[in-house]
């Protein structure tokens, strides 16, 4: 009898130690402004749900996850992955799937009934070979034009809603205030150059041309719409802050004399974090506004095959798919929740309210950048090509460079997954 009690006691102690030893090793790239506050809030809520959980956080600096991607590839190749890590949907996620590093999460998707609460486009962007490989938890819109409202009011300007109006506003600002640079960029985060060009391309060619261009279905050297978009881009170069390579995206918005920036709605979180008031210090409009296109970026988390604590990872993936965590996170982050149970009016600014309405009604197109639509291998060189264009805007040369890069990285072949699932 005494021996039996000893066995039972040992089992109870070991079980309690196992519960206490729960650990979630997680990698992400949210380190700036409101996004850092947002992930900290999410961790706080997760620990309230699972008090014995130890969170081992590994934030890697670099907007869009460029640096994190390099770190993860080393860990995954060495067979030492975290329990979960942040990935963008689409081509970015496909890189990890093709490498054989991720485990499907179909059971979590079904258990959480996400087909009922998430729009179909989200499932499409995380599904490969018939299986779901990540759980979406935050949606961004990449095509917003943020502007300095105090300055616009002082100069009697209306925010531009297409590329022609953008050029007119830039000219007007330079005429009245030659000391100002109408467009700020922070190309230390290289994706900013792509954000600007993507907005121009959507304004000139619309969403159909956009999709075909970034999936290699157009002849870059001969297509008149692509040439026209780069001609507009060249016309805008003289109005862009010339020292953009020294700034990150948030530093560019932090400049005292900033005027306009084409950026994602994640900048809302930054503006809130630094105390800039919406409707007073700044405002924003979708760009372009016609055609009304939602240029979508999806943040997800994954389940690596060789994760040490898969149970903790599964708990995390279920948790981030729920409406309450999504609501609390996205309010601070400057994004919107994918779960339709999160109502529009929880967001304190009109930017996110319009985001939600357009996410449910406008044409949704996956963003090119961060490997969401175009292959990451191509985008790495493409960003450098666009940044070089900002310093030397030669249209013929840039078209040749892009054509060569698309052929070298086999963009058309590597993007077939997108059209197969449409």
What integer pLDDT is reported at residue 63 of this predicted model? 60
The CA-CA-CA angle for residues 174, 179, 184, to 5°, reads 75
Q: Of 75, 94, 1, whose CA–CA distance to 377 is shortest?
A: 94
Cα–Cα distance for residue pair 259/237, rounded to 1 Å: 15
Low-confidence residues of the chain: pLDDT under 70: 1-21, 62-64, 371, 421-422
Cα–Cα distance for residue pair 193/236, rounded to 1 Å: 12
Are the C-beta atoms of 29 and 39 separated by less than 8 Å? Answer: no
What integer pLDDT is reported at residue 421 of this predicted model? 65
Are the C-beta atoms of 286 and 140 separated by less than 8 Å? Answer: no
Q: Which domains does the chain have, with CATH numbers?
A: 2-138+300-359 (3.40.190.10), 144-295+367-420 (3.40.190.10)
Q: What phi and psi values does residue 58 have, to the nearest 5 degrees?
A: -130, 80
What integer pLDDT is reported at residue 348 of this predicted model? 87
Q: Of 195, 277, 286, whose CA–CA distance to 240 is shortest?
A: 195
- The maximal CA–CA distance of the chain, rounded, in angstroms, is 94
Q: Residue 255, by phi and psi: left (phi above 0), alpha (psi -120 to 50) or beta?
A: beta
Cα–Cα distance for residue pair 253/135, rounded to 1 Å: 31
What integer pLDDT is reported at residue 132 of this predicted model? 97
What integer pLDDT is reported at residue 19 of this predicted model? 43
What integer pLDDT is reported at residue 209 of this predicted model? 97
């Amino acid at each position: 009898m005494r021996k039996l009690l000893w066995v039972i006691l040992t089992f109870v102690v070991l079980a309690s130690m196992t519960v206490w030893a729960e650990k979630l090793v997680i990698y992400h790239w949210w380190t700036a402004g409101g996004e850092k506050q947002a992930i900290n809030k999410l961790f706080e809520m997760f620990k309230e749900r699972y008090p014995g959980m130890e969170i081992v956080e590994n934030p890697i600096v670099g907007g869009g996850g460029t640096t994190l991607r390099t770190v993860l590839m080393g860990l995954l190749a060495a067979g030492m992955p975290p329990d979960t890590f942040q990935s963008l949907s689409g081509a970015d996620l496909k890189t990890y799937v093709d490498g054989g590093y991720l485990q499907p999460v179909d059971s979590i998707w079904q258990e959480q009934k996400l087909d009922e609460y998430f729009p179909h486009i989200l499932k499409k962007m995380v599904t490969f070979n018939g299986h779901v490989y990540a759980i979406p938890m935050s949606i961004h819109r990449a095509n917003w034009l943020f502007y300095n409202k105090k300055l616009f009011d002082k100069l009697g300007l209306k925010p531009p809603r297409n590329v022609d109006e953008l050029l007119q506003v830039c000219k007007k600002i330079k005429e009245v205030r030659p000391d100002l640079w109408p467009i700020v960029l922070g190309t230390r985060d290289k994706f900013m150059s792509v954000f600007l060009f993507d907005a121009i391309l959507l304004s000139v060619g619309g969403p159909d041309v956009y999709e075909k261009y970034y999936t290699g279905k157009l002849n870059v050297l001969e297509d008149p719409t692509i040439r026209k978009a780069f001609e507009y881009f060249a016309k805008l170069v003289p109005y862009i802050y010339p020292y953009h390579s020294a700034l990150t995206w948030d530093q560019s918005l932090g400049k005292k004399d900033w005027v306009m920036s084409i950026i994602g709605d994640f900048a809302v979180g930054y503006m809130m974090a630094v105390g800039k008031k919406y409707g007073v210090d700044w405002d924003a409009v979708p760009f372009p506004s016609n055609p009304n296109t939602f240029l979508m970026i999806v943040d997800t988390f994954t389940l690596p095959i060789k994760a040490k604590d898969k149970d903790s990872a599964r708990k995390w993936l279920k948790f981030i798919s729920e409406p309450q965590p999504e609501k609390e996170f996205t309010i601070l982050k400057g994004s919107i929740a994918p779960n339709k149970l999160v109502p529009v009016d929880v967001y304190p600014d009109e930017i996110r309210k319009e985001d939600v309405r357009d996410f449910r009604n406008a044409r949704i197109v996956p963003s090119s950048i961060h490997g969401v639509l175009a292959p990451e291998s191509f985008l790495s060189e493409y960003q450098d090509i666009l940044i070089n264009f900002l310093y030397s805007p030669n249209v013929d040369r840039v078209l040749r460079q892009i054509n060569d890069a698309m052929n070298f990285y086999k963009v058309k072949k590597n993007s077939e997954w997108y059209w197969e699932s449409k």
